[in-house]
Structure 1
């Protein structure tokens, strides 16, 4: 089964050959998604003399990079105020400026390499559709009133919104598969169908042999939990998506999203959507359960109740009952403190924990890892996420109980805001 609408538009994927046995490289990258491929891409610019191998369990883009909502955004899971308290205002500002630049860099790199990923930088709108949501929105930078919010996205019950220009809609699978082709053409060896089972400084163990390398890079995001000794590093939490059939011009004339702005609202449970280049609504959200022991299985990609909830949300937001053409999902990686990180220590490098905001962040991470591996001191290598270490998640069953309780509590909070208890 093709794991997303995005990948289905590319036709059958023929994986590259697997690792042909034990090999040695200067840099070995575990993971053929955005993080791993951007790292290899920028290494080919700043350190072209290094030999690089990318090791991927299925095929490049099989994971989150080929399934996500297609938002290249300047969002960061940790708010700027919290970052400022921890690292200082200047560092917090630098982190968010670097992410905003990464949104543009994704577009620049795709254009330079001839990757047609349907990149459209229209920004993003978070709608306020209840009094409680409006109160939150008014406290945010970028607040716009109801008239301006509806001019961008004319959903139902719009009271206001928060607009940011730092977001582009794109076709994520076109980006990741195109990037893999570019990386291979620039000299990296990509081995698909090669599952990494263990990582350590200087050594990557796979089901097809062992790779020794001067630098080993962990770029597995939600799949990190499958590695020996890493089950509690990142919690693999599922996000699910649907895509409608193409919608008529009359719908778009009413709703807007004329510049393909991405959209969400101010509810607590995360939802996200975009107008695709072929005029569908691609729409997703959290709410699927976390699975005991950080298990990852293809069957978890599909939860009928969550798909039904996503369709109901589209009906509620836009007053339509659209035909749903595609349903899919997949795991994303959540660190215990929700703080993504990038680092290099004694030949072992890592990046990830994007909490679902990884399309642009992975580009910034790849550039940063390339700088670190090449021994370059840049503004990127001084950002606050560099060298950060999140504490591990709690052991089971505490992890299962805590994450799923938080999901249920989030759903309850949204329900109470939509239908508040009557005054006494």
Structure 2
């Protein structure tokens, strides 16, 4: 399927499962067969095999962000630890981070137990500093982590380059709490694991409305005591969803497999995921078959929170990503260029705070802002406890029941989001020239509550 490198190399039969054949009854119905929906179904079925669980998917399992992302199973959360502590208290912020760190290992455990060959490699995550302003942010991140007692190792130029010999490295940081994965292999394997536990998955079944007691589709409705919204960046396609989560597009490119001589000089020997401390996010990994898979922001937000396959590809952004990749790695062989380019929407809440919850039979999780590979697993386990009425450490985490404010109406939403994207890009360019931190970028971060 021409959705991403990952879906093209999933090693799975992508023939759609049968659609919903008409009205049905269930105990739990879930809209969305991505990580959030499938983890929720998996843990529910594990905990209570008697539950009738139905998952509804517009396309096929993993079609959305779960089959297109950068393949970082990380302990990252979109809101900073300081911001969480400010809203929910220091102990709650620490508990949230520790739960996310444990989640990385939980994903690896389940993949092993269920025989899901998702190329899981826990090599940690490296964030490079390539300008003096970025180096200052790296030092601030280390200080913040130390204040809360978290693992974030400062690296000088030699130490950072030993892990990843990108051009112009001045230093960086490393955390052990991240694994590189093949995201489509994980989501497709998770769908099969859920089915083995008795979960029913209907594909090519778009959900047009969610309400207490039912999920509505063109093929019929599924009546259930609990209805779960697991639609992330596609939430805007649901009634009253346009201002709940803004779909922001993130795009990726991937090279052909690269020779061992390149890797001997470049590093990433443990398949560390990598980024840097610029404002406009980039992210990459060395895949199990020795490609560079690399992505970043920069695609425009589309007015009205529109989502369309036409937005998945933007030649301008692909060219910029390729140029950035070659800037990072000038030794990239000229004959091993980009073989795959793709993109898709991710879900961004107004306060950059992911959440999970259950209220009067309606459950939800999302707003991961691109950090959903790991946190969706935590969300699935948490929803499984909430739905079964289990009081656990997971149900007491600070993101449970969090309500993000709604995005501004149009055209303010379009103006604000795209202005922010442009400002971050120009701030990075200005910092590269001057070496000084951008005041404008700092203002945007304060407005976002970071």
Name the TM-score class by shorter chain. over 0.9
Match of 1:275 in 2: 286
In 2, Cα distance between the equivalents of 1:164 and 1:158? Answer: 17
Asked if 1:356 is matched to 2:367, the reply is no
Match of 2:86 in 1: 85
Q: Deviations over 1:353-393 (max 9, x none)?
A: 00000000000000000000011111000000000011111
Match of 1:123 in 2: 124
Match of 1:391 in 2: 405
Asked if 1:284 is matched to 2:295, the reply is yes
**Contact between 2:43 and 2:380, CA under 8 Å: does it hold in 1?**
yes
Asked if 1:71 is matched to 2:78, the reply is no
**Contact between 2:133 and 2:435, CA under 8 Å: does it hold in 1?**
no
Q: Deviations over 1:37-95 (max 9, x none)?
A: 00000001222221100000000000000000000000001111111111111100000
CA shift, 1:162, in A, is 1.0
Asked if 1:418 is matched to 2:395, the reply is no
CA shift, 1:420, in A, is 2.1
In 2, Cα distance between the equivalents of 1:393 and 1:82? Answer: 19
TM-score by length of 2: 0.93
In 2, Cα distance between the equivalents of 1:205 and 1:158? Answer: 52
Counterparts of 1:153-192 in structure 2, within 5 Å, are 153-192=164-203
Counterparts of 1:24-423 in structure 2, within 5 Å, are 24-141=25-142, 142=152, 143-319=154-330, 320=332, 321=334, 322-420=336-434
* Secondary structure of the corresponding residue to residue 225 of structure 2: strand
* Secondary structure of the corresponding residue to residue 240 of structure 1: strand
Match of 2:2 in 1: 2
CA shift, 1:421, in A, is 8.9
* Secondary structure of the corresponding residue to residue 304 of structure 2: helix
Q: Deviations over 1:212-264 (max 9, x none)?
A: 10000000000000001111110000000000000010110001000000000
TM-score by length of 1: 0.98
In 2, Cα distance between the equivalents of 1:341 and 1:9? Answer: 31
In 2, Cα distance between the equivalents of 1:355 and 1:9? Answer: 25
* Secondary structure of the corresponding residue to residue 196 of structure 1: coil
Structure 1 unmatched runs, 5+? none
In 2, Cα distance between the equivalents of 1:85 and 1:363? Answer: 25
